[in-house]
Amino acid sequence: MTPVRETAEVAIVGAGIVGIAVAHALATRHGIRDVVLVEEGEPMGLTSAQSGENYRNWWPHPVMREFTDLSTGLMEAIARTTGNRIRLTRRGYVLVTRDPRPAGLLAELEAGYAGAGAGLIRLHEGAGAAYRPGEEAGWEAVPDGVDVLLGQALVRRHFPHLAPDAAAILHIRRAGDLSGQALGQYMLETLREAGGRLRRARVIAIEPGPPFRIATEAPDGTRAGIAARVLVNAAGPFIGRIAAMLGETLPVRNVLQQKLAFEDRAGVIPRDMAFTIDLDPQSLPWTAEERALLAADPATAALAQPMPGGIHCRPEGGPGGRWIKLGWAYNHAAAEPVRAPALLPHFPDIVLRAASRLHPGVAAYVGRLPRAATHYGGFYTMTEENWPLVGPMRCPGAYVAGALSGFGTMAACAAGALLADRIAGAALPALAAALSPERQADAALMAALRGQAAKGVL
């Protein structure tokens, strides 16, 4: 084993937003400052750099709603104490369907907000419905819960920029966007001020502890060992590899998802538009010739078939900005994670075509993207039920904070707080067990989760 050259109370493998949040919570909530973050690349430079930077408390299960409520409260506290350095907004999530009576969606709302209090689901119907879509009085004045708008006329009145066939809106109010990079930088600065530190190195082996002996290799090839009483596996898409070094297997898979950002030179998306998601499945508007070519190639044949919903769009850069972001988590194929994934060259064309159904003006960019457009992507590391793994591993003294597929930025603060509380031996809320690997032993819970039609993947 590589000779030990450094010791720490807690070693955290991975300096993405989740690993940083764990370290920050250890220092600020419990005064545990002898913390080292071990990261091969730049902090926040891998999956965290590909974040959509959105947050929401809408989930089809109350445990995940409580989890993201907790995280939102922690982010709001940071926003207040820093003069909103993290650029938190509360424009919400606008979920759109062409179903004028979306009974299934309303049932999911009822299930997700169960136990949260009365009056959180507000139905609006008719021309005189009392509904205010914006955050004119500031994000702290926006109500919680969800406003449901039923009927094309009402939707058109408040959302005239959407396609006229939009028949129902679910406006999730405790939701919006933020700067994930600013959040991570703030927590990292706070950690360093408290005495925590960052080591730029790749973990090549771990000898189980405690104390754990972690063999690392720096970018210049220098090898060194770190001894730590506690080990946290927060390695993002590589949490499975770190677990394997401890002789364990985690129930996760990695799925590559992609996004597109470009300058909206034609001004087709309103600058104050909320993060908007088209929930309905669709068949992409190919020509007959294009559809035949796609269908003939096994690698693209699925694109010629009906596709799932979930296309999302939002303006980027605030009222004075000009960019927009598009995304669509339609890929479900598991893949081995790499630091620089190969992106699908046809993704920009696919997501533009899909987004143009709800945002007709976006069609102007099909085949005519501005030159500076950015096509990027990262891995969703997820469990089958799409709940995170935040808690103890089998090896005593080892913990995992991962599988936050697509919701890492919004849930990092809560994941960090829950895991820090566990490590420090503090009291835990009831949801902590359900979000940890411990839930795998709860047969009734796992059966219920795997039986859910909706898993909150957006």
DSSP character string of 55-74? EE---SSHHHHHHHHHHHHH
Q: Assign residue 361 the CATH number of its domain.
A: 3.30.9.10
Amino acid 379: pLDDT: 95
Q: Assign residue 232 the CATH number of its domain.
A: 3.50.50.60
Q: Is residue 267 part of a domain?
A: yes
Q: Is residue 63 part of a domain?
A: no
Task: Let me know whether 166 and 264 are in one domain.
Answer: yes
Amino acid 348: pLDDT: 96
Task: Let me know whether 13 and 152 are in one domain.
Answer: no
Q: In angstroms, rounded to a whole number, what is the distance separating the alpha carbons of residues 197 and 175?
A: 32
Q: Residues 369-385: pLDDT tens digits?
A: 999 999 999 999 999 99
| Phi, psi angles (nearest 5°) of residue 248 | -120, 160
Which of 365, 382, 399 finishes a domain? 382
pLDDT class for 136, splitting at 50, 70, 90? low
pLDDT class for 284, splitting at 50, 70, 90? very high
Range of the domain at 234: 4-53+180-251+384-450
Task: Let me know whether 264 and 138 are in one domain.
Answer: yes
Which of 345, 366, 382 finishes a domain? 382
- DSSP summary character for residue 280: S
Q: Is residue 284 part of a domain?
A: yes
Nearest to 18 by CA among 294, 456, 400: 400
35: exposed, middle or buried (C-beta count within 10 Å: 0-12, 13-18, 19+)? buried
Task: Let me know whether 370 and 396 are in one domain.
Answer: no
Q: Is residue 64 part of a domain?
A: no
Task: Let me know whether 113 and 40 are in one domain.
Answer: no
Residues 6+ apart with CB under 8 A from 430: none
Task: Let me know whether 203 and 282 are in one domain.
Answer: no
Amino acid 2: pLDDT: 77
Say if residue 251's pLDDT is above 90.
yes
Q: In angstroms, rounded to a whole number, what is the distance separating the alpha carbons of residues 452 and 107?
A: 12
Task: Let me know whether 47 and 196 are in one domain.
Answer: yes
- Region 142-146: what's the mean pLDDT? 91
Nearest to 455 by CA among 393, 401, 407: 407
| Structural domains of the chain, count | 2
Q: Is residue 77 part of a domain?
A: no
Helix axes 408-424, 180-194, angle to 10 degrees: 30
Say if residue 12's pLDDT is above 80.
yes
Amino acid 207: pLDDT: 96
Cα dihedral across residues 232, 258, 200, 24: positive or negative: negative
C-alpha angle 307-353-59 in degrees, rounded to nearest 5 = 50
Q: Residues 93-111: pLDDT tens digits?
A: 999 999 999 999 999 999 9
| Tokens, residue 311 | 């296309």
| Average model confidence (pLDDT) across the chain | 94
Task: Let me know whether 97 and 186 are in one domain.
Answer: no
| Tokens, residue 441 | 């032993």
Amino acid 137: pLDDT: 59
pLDDT class for 224, splitting at 50, 70, 90? very high
Task: Let me know whether 137 and 264 are in one domain.
Answer: yes
pLDDT class for 318, splitting at 50, 70, 90? confident
Q: Residues 52-91: pLDDT tens digits?
A: 999 999 999 999 999 999 999 999 999 999 999 999 999 9
Amino acid 27: pLDDT: 98
Amino acid 138: pLDDT: 74
Q: Is residue 259 part of a domain?
A: yes
pLDDT class for 143, splitting at 50, 70, 90? confident
Amino acid 1: pLDDT: 63
Q: In angstroms, rounded to a whole number, what is the distance separating the alpha carbons of residues 215 and 192?
A: 23
Q: Is residue 289 part of a domain?
A: yes
Q: Residues 174-209: pLDDT tens digits?
A: 999 999 999 999 999 999 999 999 999 999 999 998
Task: Let me know whether 272 and 159 are in one domain.
Answer: yes
Which of 342, 357, 382 finishes a domain? 382
- Region 428-440: what's the mean pLDDT? 96
- In DSSP notation, 72-126 reads HHHHHHHHHHTTSTT------EEEEES-SS-HHHHHHHHHHTTTS-TT-EEEEES
Say if residue 127's pLDDT is above 70.
no
Task: Let me know whether 15 and 49 are in one domain.
Answer: yes
363: exposed, middle or buried (C-beta count within 10 Å: 0-12, 13-18, 19+)? middle
Task: Let me know whether 297 and 156 are in one domain.
Answer: yes
pTM: 0.95
Say if residue 151's pLDDT is above 80.
yes
- Region 279-287: what's the mean pLDDT? 93
Return the amino acid letter for 138: G
Amino acid 202: pLDDT: 97
| Phi, psi angles (nearest 5°) of residue 96 | -120, 140
C-alpha angle 357-361-363 in degrees, rounded to nearest 5 = 65
Q: Is residue 106 part of a domain?
A: yes
Contact by Cβ (8 Å): 73, 256: no
pLDDT class for 229, splitting at 50, 70, 90? very high
